[in-house]
Structure 1
Amino acid sequence: MSRFWSDLTHTLSPYVPGEQPRLAGLTKLNTNESPYGPPPAVLTAIAAEAADTLRLYPDPASTALREAIAAYHGLDADQVFVGNGSDEVLAHAFAALLKHAGPLKFPDISYSFYPVYARLFGIATETVPLDDGFRIRIADYAGPTGAVILPNPNAPTGVALGRAEIGALLAQHADAPVVIDEAYVDFGAETAIPLIADHPNLLVVRTMSKSRSLAGLRVGYALGHPDLIQALTRVKDSFNSYPLGRPAQAGALASIAEE
């Protein structure tokens, strides 16, 4: 510790990322990286950006990528936000949407970055216990709240909620932001994206690190009502206008095309 640290720095308990051991031939499971590389077309698109154009800033709005993601999910581009991995997208959501008079609710066994972000941004929290089967029970989230964030499927338990249950949660808290973190949705869960049309309080966060084998590229995105996306953009542009470099945008765009 140093006398030059701010009061905030003294109070932080940072998230600890998964260990990255440097051992040849190791089968590493601790960070849930895909054992398969991205498609050749994605690698070609990334390599093509290693050119003279790297002297130029990337598109700060990632327009082409947002349009492609929107088309893929049947949404409009103003319903899409992209960032440097879903962790950054989540951080912007905490700052932009999840700090209110009531507590932020999330499961007691869940993604360990949630309490870190809450502490960083000064957000009061209430952890909700899982049941004896390590399941999230929507009824347990009843009562006053400032906002709710849930992973679906939950991590590290892997237990998923159905879309109808997410819909019930959204109706239960129609006046509060609800963030559904779908980092692992492609491994057997039902996406909440179709609920966006009827629920302006819903933000769905996705990553390209897991099922799209792009953990090293750091691309995440959020989907929701344009008002929620605008809030994320305001925070992003108050922090870093250029979160995704040219190779990241090109690789992510190619990944969307290479279904």
Structure 2
Amino acid sequence: MSTLWSDHVAGLIPYVPGEQARIPDLLKLNTNENPYGPSPKAIEAMQAALGDDLRLYPDYQALGLRQAIARRYRLQADQVFLGNGSDEILAHVFNALFLRGGRLLWLPDVTYSFYRTYCRFYDVPHRLIPLADDFSLRVSDYTQAVEQEPAGIIFANPNAPTGRALGLDAIAAIAKAHPDSAVVVDEAYVDFGAESAAALLREFPNLLVVHTLSKSRSLAGLRVGYALASSDLVAGLLRVKDSFNSYPLDRVALAGAQASIEDEAWFERTRHAVIDAREQLAQDLQALGFDVLPSQTNFLFARHRRQDAGEIAQGLRHQGILVRHFQAPRIEQYLRITVGTPEQCVRLCDTLKAVLSA
């Protein structure tokens, strides 16, 4: 611990991502990466961007990409905010929208753990609201009358790591119940079967929807995310961003992201391939003795009825397969398993049979 650190650094508890191991013939099913590559048009656009223009700063406003995203959701470009991955967008959201006179931020107790990291980093007071026993989010917990309105509300939909999703009526009810609070819906996995709350933006100016190109667009290595919201909320995020980093996306990222957004055919083909593989994998895991939560994501959250989750994860790792095991209250007996290609899912299940019978 360095004596040269700023005062607050020693007390930080950083987010810990999934293991990035270097194992021969590794099958990574622990970080929810898409098993199919990005749009060939995106790769072509990025290759074309690798020229002399890299000596120049990228478009400050990233107007071409923002317009492409706006067209897709029938919004205006000033309702689109871009960031270096959705995690950076979330960082700006916590800073710009959730520090409001000591009011509490509401969030589920079992959800994306980076939310708590940002609460600590920005010193955002918060309230953890327990999910139901089946890990569903109870809308009534978020719509009840309270003495002090929350500073904001944030939840992933579909949720991570559980995979469960709310419908638009439920999200609308939460946004309607708290018109003076920003309601942030993190939709990293929405393209794998859930409904996007972007459809509610015209009705609820307090709603903000966060997307990433890392999952359904297969561009985790590019680091591009975006938020959809009213122009007023976007203006607040821009103030924070431009006080921190005015050029978060480079020329290559802008070119690849725009081409990916515009290649609807590739997007539809690959996301449906993941959905089909997910349904088959859920059946196969159940046949092996797992209880599997309903999922509208590119992963499954499963618990074996007889064997310890940590031991199963270690057994798979010894065979060159990584899955995510969270050693956290309520979910310590669950594994989060990324959906791979059909061939990868077969390898997983064949290996699980050996691990479970060992």
Which category describes the TM-score, using the shorter chain as reference length? over 0.9
Residue 137 of structure 1 corresponds to which residue in structure 2?
138
- Of 119, 144, 151, which aligns to 1:146? 151
The alignment of Structure 1 onto Structure 2 pairs a total of residues equal to 259
Residue 194 of structure 2 corresponds to which residue in structure 1?
189
> Once the two structures are superposed, what CA deviation does each residue of 1:147-179 show, in whole Å capped at 9, x if it has no partner?
100100110000100000000000111111110
| Separation (CA, whole Å) in 2 of partners of 1:16 and 1:25 | 24
Matched, 1:28 2:33: no
Percent of aligned pairs with the same amino acid: 57
Maintained 8 Å contact 2:97/2:151: no
| Separation (CA, whole Å) in 2 of partners of 1:52 and 1:251 | 17
**Displacement, 1:40?**
1.2
Superposed counterparts of 1:31-50, under 5 Å? 31-50=31-50
Larger RCO (CA within 8 A; separation ≥ 6)? 1
Residue 74 of structure 1 corresponds to which residue in structure 2?
74
Residue 124 of structure 2 corresponds to which residue in structure 1?
123
| Separation (CA, whole Å) in 2 of partners of 1:18 and 1:242 | 28
SS in 2 for 1:240: coil
SS in 2 for 1:132: coil
- TM-score (norm. length: structure 1): 0.98
**Displacement, 1:190?**
1.2
Superposed counterparts of 1:99-118, under 5 Å? 99-100=99-100, 101-118=102-119
| Separation (CA, whole Å) in 2 of partners of 1:245 and 1:105 | 34
SS in 2 for 1:206: strand
**Displacement, 1:19?**
1.5
SS in 1 for 2:237: helix
| Separation (CA, whole Å) in 2 of partners of 1:60 and 1:118 | 29
| Separation (CA, whole Å) in 1 of partners of 2:241 and 2:206 | 20
Return 5+ residue gaps in structure 1 as ranges: none
Superposed counterparts of 1:174-213, under 5 Å? 174-213=179-218
Superposed counterparts of 1:246-257, under 5 Å? 246-257=251-262
| Separation (CA, whole Å) in 1 of partners of 2:94 and 2:231 | 17
> Once the two structures are superposed, what CA deviation does each residue of 1:191-249 show, in whole Å capped at 9, x if it has no partner?
11111101110000000000000000000000000000001111110010100000100
Residue 234 of structure 1 corresponds to which residue in structure 2?
239
SS in 1 for 2:180: coil
Spell out structure 1 runs of 4+ moving beyond 6 A: none
SS in 2 for 1:72: helix
SS in 1 for 2:201: helix
Q: Which residue identity is paired with 2:179? A: A
Residue 314 of structure 2 corresponds to which residue in structure 1?
none
| Separation (CA, whole Å) in 2 of partners of 1:127 and 1:71 | 36
Q: Which residue identity is paired with 2:18? A: G
| Separation (CA, whole Å) in 1 of partners of 2:227 and 2:127 | 24
| Separation (CA, whole Å) in 1 of partners of 2:170 and 2:138 | 9
Return 5+ residue gaps in structure 2 as ranges: 265-358
Q: Which residue identity is paired with 2:107? A: F
Residue 8 of structure 1 corresponds to which residue in structure 2?
8
**Displacement, 1:257?**
1.2
| Separation (CA, whole Å) in 2 of partners of 1:49 and 1:22 | 31
SS in 2 for 1:197: coil
**Displacement, 1:24?**
3.5
- TM-score (norm. length: structure 2): 0.71
> Once the two structures are superposed, what CA deviation does each residue of 1:37-90 show, in whole Å capped at 9, x if it has no partner?
012111010111111111111012111000000001100000000110000011
